[in-house]
């Protein structure tokens, strides 16, 4: 939420020529590792992401009966923003506030689980290569 999570694109921004912004070779290695890529697109993290996104979609779609759009009607950028801070969905309704807690829980679960899975891949790579991280 504070923009302090360090992805390859962040590292590249601060180390211009020394760091490749592409998602690590131990992950998908097929696109710039931005927040959108990390949260919604990196195929290596799909196994963790898909069931949780399904839960987020369910919770957001319950909310949408009140005032907001369905999950799939949000742009990818909006989905990233909701995943990081779902309060943008809040429309001052007591029932909705209770439902929003469900969205928030699932979004925190998504970010925590993706972080753990990404870290697990990078750590495994570190142990097998006995060198620095491959990215
Ligand atoms: Zn990736």
CA atoms within 13 A on the CB side of 30: 7
pLDDT in tens, 56-102: 999 988 887 655 688 999 999 999 999 998 888 876 566 677 788 88
For residue 57, the model assigns a pLDDT of 93
Q: Is 28 exposed, middle or buried (0-12, 13-18, 19+ CB in 10 A)?
A: middle
- Residue 1 domain-assigned (yes or no): no
For residue 48, the model assigns a pLDDT of 97
pLDDT in tens, 116-134: 999 999 888 777 665 545 5
Give the chain's radius of gyration (CA, Å). 17
- Residue 3 domain-assigned (yes or no): no
- Residue 134 domain-assigned (yes or no): no
Q: How far is the CA of 28 from the centre of ligand 1 (A)?
A: 4
- pLDDT score of 135 more than 70: no
Q: What residues make up the domain containing 53? A: 8-129
Q: How far is the CA of 134 from the centre of ligand 1 (A)?
A: 13
Look-up of token digits 């950028």? 77
The whole-angstrom separation of Cα 131 and Cα 114 is 24
- Residue 113 domain-assigned (yes or no): yes
Q: How far is the CA of 27 from the centre of ligand 1 (A)?
A: 5
- Residue 55 domain-assigned (yes or no): yes
- Residue 2 domain-assigned (yes or no): no
pLDDT in tens, 6-65: 888 888 888 877 888 999 888 999 999 999 999 999 999 999 999 999 999 999 888 876
The whole-angstrom separation of Cα 27 and Cα 1 is 23
Q: How many domains does the chain have?
A: 1
Q: How far is the CA of 69 from the centre of ligand 1 (A)?
A: 28
Please name which of 127, 67, 71 lies closest in space to residue 97, comparing C-alpha atoms: 67
Q: How far is the CA of 30 from the centre of ligand 1 (A)?
A: 6
Q: How far is the CA of 82 from the centre of ligand 1 (A)?
A: 20
């Amino acid at each position: 939420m504070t923009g302090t999570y360090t992805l390859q694109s962040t590292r590249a921004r601060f180390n211009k020529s020394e760091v490749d912004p592409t998602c690590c070779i131990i992950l998908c290695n097929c696109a710039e590792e931005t927040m959108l890529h990390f949260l919604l697109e990196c195929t290596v993290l799909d196994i963790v992401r898909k069931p949780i996104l399904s839960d987020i979609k369910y919770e957001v779609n319950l909310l949408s009966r009140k005032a907001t759009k369905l999950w799939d009607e949000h742009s990818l950028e909006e989905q990233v923003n909701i995943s990081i801070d779902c309060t943008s969905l809040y429309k001052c309704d007591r029932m909705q506030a209770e439902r929003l807690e469900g969205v928030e829980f699932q979004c925190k679960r998504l970010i925590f689980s993706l972080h753990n899975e990404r870290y697990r891949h990078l750590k495994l790579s570190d142990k097998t290569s006995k060198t620095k991280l491959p990215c």
